[in-house]
Structure 1
Amino acid sequence: MGHTMEKLRRLLRHLWLDADDARRALGEAALDRLEARVRASETGHSGQICLCVEASLPPSYLWRHLARGEALASVIRDRAITLFGKQRVWDTEDNNGVLVYLLLAEHRIEIIADRALARVLEPAAWQDLVTQLAAPCREARLEDALGAAVDRLDHLLRADFPRSGGADLTGGGGLSDRPVLR
């Protein structure tokens, strides 16, 4: 009975939340601060950082977990990969874009890095970064979690992809600096 109740609670949580909830969870002032943080970061490196906050999983993803029994972590990772493509994070000149995906309904964060950036760190190091961000996510300190992700990625990108002196400061991929809410 406990397992069934947990599935029901998860289903209701995902059906209840929408993009407006993501907007309310962060607030306009936090969105403005995060946008400014990404913009400031991108002046020092050639990478592109995309923040994406999704309120809940689409029904097809939720179904994979609840009905088919796929691990929730795997389903969330697949969703982040899908949004990496939909947001065109892969479409940067140096293949060094990164998506920071936060799933509000589960207070879980995933980081998907493009090829050149993914080669900079071992997969375990990327997982360590996600683990470091887990506590603020669980505590609903969403701006703190996203801001810490930007700061850590800024450090990595500045070290491995510094912006050359005369480079255009608008970013190679032209991705929006504003967090994407879904």
Structure 2
Amino acid sequence: MERLQRWVRNVFGGWFHLRRCFPADLLDAMAQAISEGERRHLGEVRFAVESRLAPGAVWSGLTARQRAHQVFAQLGVWDTEHNTGVLIYVLLAERRIEIVADRGLAARVDPEEWSGICSRMREEFSAGRWREGSLAGIAQVHTLAEAHFPSDGRTNSDELPDRPVLL
């Protein structure tokens, strides 16, 4: 039954609101927040929003978490000097938020801290505050990265693009 419900959400859900929820000015603000935050630590933050999963992928059992790991690999978030890449993944159709951290950060940050960020973002998104939720999530990820991998005084090499990607 759950598989059928997920399939229906991905086929008929509010996935068509992608540009309304994440307009160009919000994407610009998010890119700026990512860029500014990365100056304080040695991590790399990526933000990806996907409107929906392919119906066949849902029917075969692909979860939002599994898809987040695929996107993590696809965007090369794992490929950073200090293994400190972080992906914030939003699946609109299912209203799911997943954070995937590379092994450098994953070894030092309790999974409950990542879950807390997702919960805060979900609360904001549920209230229609896409800007506030996105920017708060980015800021919280920067805080964790800075606590565990602070900048060593050198400029962060900015290994990955800062602009959020819409899938």
Superposition TM-score, scaled by structure 2 size: 0.88
Indicate the SS of the match to 2:93: coil
- Tell me the percent identity: 33
Deviation track 1:37-93 (CA, whole Å, cap 9, x = no partner) reads 00000111110000001010123321134xxxxxxxx70100001000000000010
Pick from 169, 176, 179 the counterpart of residue 156 of structure 2: 169
The 2-side partners of 1:89 and 1:29 are apart by 24
Equivalent residue for 1:93? Answer: 81
131-140 vs 34-43, which moves further: 131-140
Contact 2:41–2:151 under 8 Å retained in 1 = yes
Change over 3 Å in CA distance of 1:120–1:31 after alignment to 2:
same
Indicate the SS of the match to 1:121: coil
Specify every segment of 5 or more residues in structure 2 that has no aligned partner in the other structure, as ranges: none
> Aligned pair 1:179/2:164, yes or no?
yes
Change over 3 Å in CA distance of 1:61–1:137 after alignment to 2:
farther
Indicate the SS of the match to 1:164: coil
Give the paired residue count. 167
The 2-side partners of 1:5 and 1:160 are apart by 41
Q: Quick check: which has more Rg, 1 or 2?
A: 1
Indicate the SS of the match to 2:60: helix
Change over 3 Å in CA distance of 1:6–1:38 after alignment to 2:
same
Equivalent residue for 1:71? Answer: none
The 1-side partners of 2:2 and 2:76 are apart by 37
Alignment of 1:81-160 (within 5 A): 81-160=69-148
Superposition TM-score, scaled by structure 1 size: 0.81
Q: What do you get for the CA RMSD once the two structures are aligned?
A: 2.4
Deviation of 1:105 (Å)? 1.1
Deviation of 1:99 (Å)? 0.2
Indicate the SS of the match to 2:155: coil
Specify every segment of 5 or more residues in structure 1 that has no aligned partner in the other structure, as ranges: 66-73
